[in-house]
Every structure is written in C-alpha cells, then in structure tokens.
Amino acid sequence: MRRTSKVFVGLAAVVLPLTSVVMALGGTPADAATGGSGPYPADYETSTTLANHTIFRPQTLPTDRLPIVVWGNGGCSANGLSQGTFLREIASHGFLAIASGAPNGSGSTTSQMLTQSIDWAVAENSRPASKYYNRLDPSRIAVAGFSCGGLEAYAVSADPRVTTTGIFSSGLLNDADDYQLRRLTKPIAYFVGGPGDIAYPNAMDDWGKLPAGLPAFMGNLDVGHGGTYDQPNGGEFGRVAVLYLKWRLKGDTTAGRAFVGADCGLCHSQWTVRQKNLTLDDGPPPTTPPPTSPSPGGSPACTAVYTVQDQWNGGFVARVDVTAGTTALTGWRVTLGLPGGASITSVWNGVASGTSGTVTVANQSYNGRLAAGQSTTFGFQGSGTGGGATAACVGS
C-alpha cells in the first residue's frame, strides 16, 4: 500500500537547493570536474534532429561502441542540464547519455521524450553520414531517471530495446500503477536517499512487488531526496551509477562485484543494500568470430557473432554483430540455431522469421548496406536460456 502522495514529485522541483547543500558539505565546486573522472573527457551538445534534448558524450569518441543511457530529470524538468554534472560523469566513462529537455530549457518533459532519445540514437548509429555511425551500441540501452524522471523511466521500461532500468529516488505513486511493475522483464536497480528521502516509502513498496525472479538491486544512501548529482562527478550517486552501467551495459564483472553477493563492494559501506536474483556472470563470453570466407553459392561473405548480454530466470537478451568480409554487402541474413526451450519474443534492428529452433533474421532497410569490413548489430529478447545458440551469416 502506498504511504506517500504526489508531493515527492513536486519536491523534485526544488532539488537544486537541496543538492547545493549536499555539495557545500563536500567543499569542492562542481565545475572542478568539467569533463568527468573517466578516461574520455565529456561535454554536451544538441542536435537539430532531436529537439528539446541534451546529449552528453565523450569529446573524442572512443574505438569501442558507446552503450546508450536515456535520462528523465528530477521534477520532470525540461532543463537537460538539471543533472548535467552527473550525466557528464557517466559519459566520460564511455557512454552516450541523453537527457530529456534542452540545455537550460523550461517546461516539463514526458516519458515519450525518453523513447525519442532511444529512437534517435538507434537511427544515428545506422545513418552513414552521422558521426555516430556504427559508434553506438543499440543492443545495450539503459533507461533511468530521478524522482519524477524515474516515473518516466518506469513507463518506458517495457520497450524491448531497453536492457536495464535505473530508478533514482523514485517510486510509483498509486497502487493502480503497479501494472508497470508486473510487466518488468529486464534487470532493475534502485538508488534512493534513505529513510529521509520522501520517495523512500514508495520505492520500498515497489521493491516488495517486483516480479519473482527479476534481477534487482536496491541501494540506500542516507542523503535525502536531493541526492549528490551536483557534487563533483555526480558525487557518490555518480560513482555508483557508473559502476552499475559498466556492469550491465559493458559486461564489466569487476564493476558488478559492487552489487552482487553477501560480500559485495557496497555491502560494507555507507550504503544499505538489498539484492534479488543477482548473479555476476549473466551469460557466456562472446564467441570467437569465424574466419571470413566465401559463403555457399558465391554470395558475399559475412560473419555473425552471437553474445548473451543478460540472462535471468526465464529470459535473456542477446546481440548479434554482423560484419561484412572483403566484399561490400547490399543485405545480409543471419540463421540462428536456438537451444531447446528458448524462443524469441522481440527483435530490434532486424526482421525475424520464426521464433524458436532455427530462426532467420534479415537486415532492416537502414542497416543492410555494409562496406567491406564494416559491422552492424541487431538484438533480441527471448524466453528460456540463451547460452549455446549458433549464428551463421549469408550476404547479398
């Protein structure tokens, strides 16, 4: 039963004064960490094709593809810089982070703006003229938000492209909204400001209603509703958010040890920790790409590398990297051999024929043309166990 009302959403609108108090206790100005603490100094930009959003990215794009984080601001504020220090910190560790709202914008956001962020990032990754062409990883997407923005994140969590959800000092306001919990299928994490956080009762209520078997983490830091977002590098919330995203979106098991097990890194710290169904290794390591060679019938060669990104009781998320050989492709088709009991429930960046056993996935209209040696990615969510599948590619 819910024990608080909509008051905490309105309280998020006064987050700036609250976090200023927290920052003052730290004694270091927020602008001391302009580029973040990660290996890729980051900043923000805007795009004419993504109106009313703020894009945080490494100033120099790294070689590795960037996982995607879409963010809803506290108070559902349309100022994309509301948690800018925090998001810049995330981007500096090799992520593309997109906040709803233009820099210093006004007004309110909606959950649809998070979906727009995902749509834009996926499209830019596939657009040859984009600087993000084949530089993003659309199979690894987190949706997250603070306070009212956390409610927006809940609303988008069912998007099949989402890999994990982050709820920061937020919780559903009414029992009538509990259907949003029942439809959760991807790992989720809560980062809350302790019993003094006005969102705490609702977050804890949500925690008790999560679907059985869903991988979930709950961390409470006794800082109240304001969090540490404006502290240098996003403060402790920024540090822990980066660790979680490294684990869930980059497969970094060293970072994952902060959250998993009775002896987890956060278990003996100022954080109060709860865990459900967490395992450090969610799937087998990526398979080794086979050597490129001409495919049967003289079709242009390509390779397909299958990787399980997340595995939980009853479901999994997988990605397939398709790479052209020495000849350019105008299209490709991947044949998947799924293990017994496994079936596909949704696919992105590809068109599937069949759902179990032997499944064929062909390119979409926007990602079929590949230059020699160029790669693209599709992904899917499935039921059952994803380990042990095979993948073979034929080009055209």
Per-residue pLDDT for 21 more than 50? Answer: no
Per-residue pLDDT for 283 more than 60? Answer: no
Report domain 296-395's class.
Answer: mainly beta
Q: H or E segment at 205?
A: helix 200-208
- In whole angstroms, give the CA distance from residue 210 to residue 205: 9
- Whole-number pLDDT of residue 347: 85
- In whole angstroms, give the CA distance from residue 101 to residue 375: 32
33-70 pLDDT tens trace: 468 999 999 999 999 999 999 999 999 999 999 999 99
Per-residue pLDDT for 19 more than 70? Answer: no
Rounded to an integer, the average pLDDT of 128-136 is 94
Q: By three-state DSSP, how is residue 97 classified?
A: strand
Percent of the chain with pLDDT over 90: 65
- Whole-number pLDDT of residue 382: 87
Q: How confident is the model at residue 141 (pLDDT cuts 50, 70, 90)?
A: very high
Rounded to an integer, the average pLDDT of 22-27 is 32
Per-residue pLDDT for 126 more than 60? Answer: yes
- Whole-number pLDDT of residue 34: 67
- Whole-number pLDDT of residue 1: 61
DSSP 8-state code for residue 193: -
Work out the angle at residue 85's Cα, subtended by the Cα atoms of residues 80 and 90, and round it to the nearest 5 degrees: 95
188-233 pLDDT tens trace: 999 999 999 999 999 999 999 999 889 999 999 999 999 999 999 9
Q: Of 146, 266, 308, 282, whose CA–CA distance to 215 is shortest?
A: 282
DSSP 8-state code for residue 285: P
Rounded to an integer, the average pLDDT of 149-174 is 95
- Whole-number pLDDT of residue 15: 44
- Whole-number pLDDT of residue 371: 87
Q: Which CATH architecture has domain 7-276?
A: 3-Layer(aba) Sandwich (3.40)
Domain ranges of the chain: 7-276, 296-395
